[in-house]
Amino acid sequence: MKLSTFTYPASRQTPVETYPLTDPARTLVILFGPSHLLNTPAPIQTILAAYPGAAAIGCSSSGEIFGTQVQDDTLVVGLLEFGSTTVRTASAHVTTPGHSFEAAQALATRLIDPALRGVLVLSDGLGVNGSELIRGLNTVLPPHVVVSGGLAGDGSRFKQTWVVKDGLPVSGYITAVGFYGSAIRLTHGSKGGWDLFGPERLITRSRGNVLYELNQKPALQLYKDYLGTLASGLPGTALHFPLAIRHTRDETKRLVRTILAIDEDAQSLTFAGDMPEGAYTQFMRANFDRLIQGASDAATLAAIPGGDSTPTLSIAISCVGRRLVLGERTEEEVEAVFDMLPKGAAQIGFYSYGEISPYSTGHCDLHNQTMTLTTISEAA
């Protein structure tokens, strides 16, 4: 596998340094950039025009990751030329969040094949129910197929996100690339580092990813009580205080959920994933050192086969809430991940509205407020 990474300014068009492609059918372009490119797509078109015939996937970000740096208003690009692995992209339109399950099923059906070994999924970050997206993928794709990825971001604005479809940025779509053949090597890791606080509460009324009541009390008012003076900045300030959910009090597995929107009239909170009635939820808050250690732990989980001699691309997807909380220390978590990679590995990534990865092994889950790592390499 040949690997190249580079950055490109998102605010103006400049020539792209092209790399002659040996086989476009075995070439993949991955890119991440700011949300305003939905309205000004020329930089994306310029990059993809430099590699005709290559498969392409990408999405908007709440900050771009390149090596050990976190940037804004730039495109970060990874170019992978595989030796024997083939790739195929697919997309599905999500007309409403309630259509997320069917759209994900359709997407997975277009990719399924006996030779399929892994799928990288990038989704619109606002108009998709992440839990239903995951459920749809998991009903079609077998557990041995590694599925990872994330939900597109738009900083703390929550206005517009995009994914690349047919060479252009579009909203309202789920996209994915499938990796086929025995040579592909995909690893993954996902960790948080947030601390639980306060009592655990029962979800007494919800519908899908919309939460109405906790312990039979209005969810939004309860949340405002906890945020205090920060409540005036909702939904953005909610990124500082995610919620952890588990289905029973005996379950050790907890998934983290981030708020995307609020409804004052209904006193409800809309999350990136489902908040099922009967589940238990608890507030979380940041511990700076544990957040950074969590990023390092994610890289440890994504142990890379083949050692230093294997060209490897690391795709780092971290939640926008982590960036807002870490502030000037944000690059520390990116550096912590990069330090765990083999010498010579390259890294790109983005800050997201949700992360997709198996909890440990098997089918994938939707995560929020984690650092999620996917590594791509190919056996010699």
Tell me the C-alpha distance between 29 and 51, whole Å: 8
Query: Strands 371-378, 86-93: parallel, antiparallel or unpaired by DSSP?
Result: unpaired
Same domain, 88 and 229: no
Confirm if 8 and 44 have CB atoms less than 8 A apart: no
- Count of domains for the chain: 2
**Helix 288-301 crosses helix 330-339 at what angle (to 10 degrees)?**
30
- What pLDDT, in 10s, does the model give residues 328-355? 889 999 999 998 888 889 999 999 999 9
Task: Report the C-alpha gap between 86 and 102 in whole angstroms.
Answer: 26
Q: What is the mean pLDDT of residues 292-299?
A: 82
H runs (alpha helix) in 4-127? 42-49, 100-111
In whole angstroms, give the CA distance from residue 157 to residue 38.
14
Angle at 290 between CA 288 and CA 292, to 5 degrees: 75
Q: What is the mean pLDDT of residues 299-326?
A: 81
Same domain as 334, residue 230: no
Per-residue model confidence as pLDDT tens digits over 96-131: 999 999 999 999 999 999 999 999 999 999 999 998
With vertex at residue 31, the alpha carbon angle to CA 71 and CA 358, rounded to the nearest 5 degrees, is 95
pLDDT for the residue numbered 348 = 98
Residue 174 sits in the same domain as residue 205: no
What is the per-residue pLDDT for 156? 84
Among 285, 319, 337, which residue terminates a domain? 285
Domain shared by 210 and 112, yes or no: no
Q: Which domain holds residue 238?
A: 195-285
Q: Which residue among 285, 306, 336 closes a domain? A: 285
Buried b (16+ CB within 10 A) or exposed e, 91-129: bbebeebebbbebbbbbbebbeeeebbbbbbbbbbbbbb
Which helix (H) or strand (E) is 70 found in, with range?
A: strand 69-71
Give residue 318's pLDDT band: very low, low, confident or very high (50, 70, 90). Answer: very high
Long-range contacts of 220-227 (CB under 8 A, 24+ apart): 220/262, 220/263, 220/264, 220/266, 220/267, 220/268, 220/269, 221/267, 223/259, 223/269, 226/198, 226/283
In sequence order, the 6+-apart residues with CB closer than 8 A to the CB of 114 are none
Based on the fold, state whether residues 263 and 303 are members of the same structural domain.
no
Q: At what angle do helices 130-140 and 100-111 cross, to 10 degrees?
A: 40
d(CA 168, CA 163): 8
Tell me: do 180 and 227 sit in the same domain: no
SS3 17: coil
Residues 276 and 329 in one domain: no
Least confident span in 86-90, 157-161, 281-285, 290-294: 290-294
- Angle at CA of residue 145, ends 142 and 148, nearest 5°: 120
Sign, CA torsion 341/60/99/322: positive
Q: Is 359 found in the same domain as 309?
A: yes
HSE (side-chain half, CA atoms, 13 Å) at 237: 11
If asked whether residues 43 and 130 sit together in one domain, one would say yes
* pLDDT over 80 (residue 208): yes
What is the pLDDT at residue 88? 96
How far, in Å, CA of 33 to CA of 211, rounded?
A: 31
Q: Do both 43 and 100 map to the same domain? A: yes
Distance CA 30, CA 217 (A): 44
Q: Which of 185, 143, 190 is nearest to 375 (CA)?
A: 185
The answer to whether residue 306 scores a pLDDT higher than 70 is no
Least confident of 7-11, 32-36, 133-137, 291-295: 291-295
Residue 366 and residue 218 in one domain: no
Q: Are residues 222 and 311 in the same domain?
A: no
pLDDT score, position 171 = 97
- Residues 27-48 have a mean pLDDT of 95
Last residue of one domain, picked from the residues 245, 261, 285: 285
- Of residues 287 and 213, more confidently modeled: 213
pLDDT value of residue 189: 86
| Residue written as token pair 């590594």 | 375
Encoding tokens for residue 319?
């939640």
Whose structure tokens read 């099922």?
276
Q: Is 326 helix (H, G, I), strand (E, B) or coil?
A: helix
Task: State the average pLDDT for the chain.
Answer: 90
User: Has residue 206 got a pLDDT over 60?
Assistant: yes
